[in-house]
Amino acid sequence: MRFDEYRAHDAVGLAALVERGEIHPTDLLELALDRCAAIDPVINAVSLLMERAARQRAAGPLAGPLAGVPFLIKDLGQDYAGYPTSGGTGPLRKVAVERHSMVVQRWLDAGLVIFGKTTTSEFGSKAVVETRTFGSTRNPWDPTRTPGGSSGGSAAAVAAGIVPVAGASDGGGSIRIPAACTGLFGLKAGRGLISSGPLYGDLLFGAVTDGVVARSVRDSAVMLDILSQPDPGAPYPVARPDRPYRDAVAEPPRRLRIGYTCESPTGSPVDAEAVRAVEDAARLLENLGHTVEPAAPAIDGTRMAMDFMTAWTAMAAAELAVACEVSGASPTEFDIDTQVLAAVGRAVTGPELMAAHARWNTYTRALAAFHDTYDLLLTPTLATPPLRIGQHRTPALADTVLPPLLRLGAGKLLSRTDFYVDLVTSNLSAVPFTQLANITGRPAMSVPTHWTETGVPLGVQFVGPSGAEYLLLQLAAEIETARPWFDRHPDNLGVVDAD
């Protein structure tokens, strides 16, 4: 099999070839490794190769719905026993984990051949992947731009053809943002549908979920079937449809009423290209027979962003403390952004955290009221085309100026500085639309319906009510048929200057 033949199949298609005996998993693995060796020096998507374990696995008997398909997992929260999960950091690269996370075990049970881990922003805290340890991960459609974050390595690897689908996770948009940047489909499942076990229960109050980025809707549907099996140890049971998610791909949705908005919930600017992407998607939906009209949930987006960051910084403080404990590292060995977020998080009081979390209910109720009238909410996924590499990079001076303040425990003071405000606003201003689905625990997806005039992808987002994963997959499949994207490939993979 040649590379172009390999890339012409999604994961379901490759698994079918293996099942029919038309190709062996070892041959597929070598194709993936060869593509990785050829292209990863340009895009920097893979943080850890696991070739020996993968070759042993590919050579043995495999079973499951995706048996024999090469696969990459995210280097954050997706633990593979015997290997480190770096979380985008330097210190954790040296610490091997003892057991598989539940999602990794389910991928192995599905027959996938995991051969590496993908780059991520440090602790998944940014919408770009630019770290002290791993450098910058680049967008295959334009290597001067980011593939988004924090699952940017996975998105870059899939878009570049290394694998047809890859592991991702989403705590504030980290599946949908990279999918939108790289011309992929990305579905964030609703709260609790995919277990975070055994290490976590409701990570970040249930805002975080694992998943994938994929080139086809049916790969995402099959992956949701694989990942959404009930977990007896999960915090609470979650209702599931009485049929496989895979069936949604072949079943058109009912005619839907969809409300759309292009206004940033925080009042930050929205690029005209992002507006065009939504307006174009609205016309496409109307042509498909759906009712589409301007509407938005009644939410104070600025207050919501503050309440999200209160919880996020508290989590950053806890993550940094654990990472230092298990690695023996000093906080100064982590990215300065991480140190600042953790310092601010340590200054958050218990009552402040609980009050911020209590207000999440307000946003959930407001979105539910919106869904009383509209089946889905349509927005930009990003407020701008993918950012240039280094566009929002923390100034080098911060590494000199901030450490003394951090050592003094000046988290509360830092939270009021222009530096911290700029750090938060620069990270959220490009992606103000995605956090709502995490806070409310609702399913949401980014669909690659739009490319800019310069040839860069810019997806649009749909947010559904609780339990709407099946409906979202139905609509995504309908859009995929009306405006196919699977065979669109980046052709800008030239050599770029290193960081």
Would you name the residues annotated as active-site residues? 74, 150, 174
User: How many whole angstroms separate alpha carbon 95 and alpha carbon 92?
Assistant: 5
User: How many whole angstroms separate alpha carbon 8 and alpha carbon 487?
Assistant: 7
φ/ψ (deg, to 5) at 286: -65, -40
Buried b (16+ CB within 10 A) or exposed e, 301-313: beebbebbbbbbb
Provide DSSP, 179-227. Answer: HHHHT-EEEEPPTTSS--TTT-SSTTTTT-EEEEEESSHHHHHHHHHHH
**Residue 77 Rama label (left phi>0; alpha psi -120 to 50; beta):** left
DSSP 32: H
Cα diameter, the chain? 64
Residue type, 248: A
Please check whether residue 56 is in contact with residue 48, taking contact to mean a CB–CB distance below 8 angstroms: no
Enumerate the H helices of 62-173 as residue ranges: 102-109, 152-159
User: How many whole angstroms separate alpha carbon 163 and alpha carbon 158?
Assistant: 5
Please check whether residue 172 is in contact with residue 438, taking contact to mean a CB–CB distance below 8 angstroms: yes
Q: How far apart are the first and last CA of the chain?
A: 35
Please check whether residue 120 is in contact with residue 84, taking contact to mean a CB–CB distance below 8 angstroms: no
Burial of residue 232, with CB atoms counted within 10 A of its CB: 0-12 exposed, 13-18 middle, 19 or more buried: exposed
50 alpha-carbon distance from chain centroid: 22
Please check whether residue 127 is in contact with residue 82, taking contact to mean a CB–CB distance below 8 angstroms: no
Residue type, 427: N
Instruction: Write the CA distances from 333 to 315, 323, 387, 418, integer angstroms.
Output: 18, 11, 26, 24
For 60, other C-beta atoms within 10 Å of its C-beta total 10
Q: Work out the angle at residue 458's Cα, subtended by the Cα atoms of residues 457 and 462, and round it to the nearest 5 degrees.
A: 135
Cα dihedral 314, 442, 435, 120 sign: positive
85 alpha-carbon distance from chain centroid: 17
For 103, other C-beta atoms within 10 Å of its C-beta total 26
